[in-house]
Amino acid sequence: MAAFTSHQTHTHFLSKLPITNKPTRTKPIVTRVRMSYQESGPSLAVVGVTGAVGQEFLSVLSDRDFPYRSIKMLASKRSAGKEFSFQDKTYTIEELTENSFDDVDIALFSAGGSISKKYGPIAVDKGTVVVDNSSAFRMVENVPLVIPEVNPEAMSGIKLGTGKGALIANPNCSTIICLMAATPLHRRAKVTRMVVSTYQAASGAGAAAMEELELQTREVLEGKPPTCNIFNQQYAFNLFSHNAPIVSNGYNEEEMKLVKETRKIWNDKDVRVTATCIRVPVMRAHAESVNLQFENPLDEETAKNILSNAPGVVVIDDRASNHFPTPLEVSNKDDVAVGRIRRDVSQDGNYGLDIFVCGDQIRKGAALNAIQIAEMLL
The domain limits of the chain are 43-170+367-376, 174-360
Concerning whether 178 is annotated as a catalytic residue, the answer is no
Spatial CA neighbour of 29 closest among 45, 18, 42 = 18
CA-CA distance, 216 to 76, in Å (whole number)? 27
Beta bridge partners of 94: 74
In this predicted structure, what is the pLDDT of residue 161? 86
Average pLDDT over all residues of the chain: 92
Contact (Cβ atoms closer than 8 angstroms) between residue 336 and residue 313: yes
Distance of CA 267 to the CA centre of its chain: 21
Superfamily of domain 43-170+367-376: NAD(P)-binding Rossmann-like Domain (3.40.50.720)
- CB neighbours of 258 closer than 8 A, spacing ≥ 6? 172, 174, 175, 178, 196, 198, 273, 275, 277
Instruction: Indicate whether 327 pLDDT > 60.
Output: yes
Summarize the confidence of residues 45-50 as an average pLDDT.
97
* Gyration radius (Cα) of the chain, Å: 20
DSSP-assigned states of every residue in 222-262: TTPPPP-SSSSS--TT--EE-SSPB-TTS-BHHHHHHHHHH
- Identify the active-site residue in 7, 277, 286, 358: 286
Q: What are phi and psi of 288, to 5 degrees?
A: -145, 130
Give the pLDDT band (50/70/90) at residue 306: very high
Phi, psi torsion values for 73, nearest 5 degrees: -105, 110
Catalytic entry in 173, 178, 277, 358: 173
pLDDT above 80: residue 135: yes
Is 173 assigned a catalytic role? yes
CATH of domain 174-360: 3.30.360.10
Question: What does the alpha-carbon distance between residue 44 and residue 229 come to, in Å, rounded to a whole number?
Answer: 34
Q: In 10 A of CB 166, how many CB atoms?
A: 21
pLDDT of residue 4: 66
**pLDDT tens for each residue of 257-303:** 999 999 999 999 999 999 999 999 999 999 999 999 999 999 999 99
Check whether 12 has a pLDDT greater than 60: no
Q: 43-170+367-376 with 174-360: one CATH topology?
A: no
DSSP string, 268-286: -TT-EEEEEEEE-S-SSEE
**pLDDT for residue 5:** 60
So what's the pLDDT on residue 38? 86
CA neighbor of 189 nearest in space, from 343, 41, 297: 297
What contacts 113, CB < 8 A, 6 or more positions away?
134, 135, 136
For 92-118, the pLDDT digits (tens) are 999 999 999 999 999 999 999 999 999
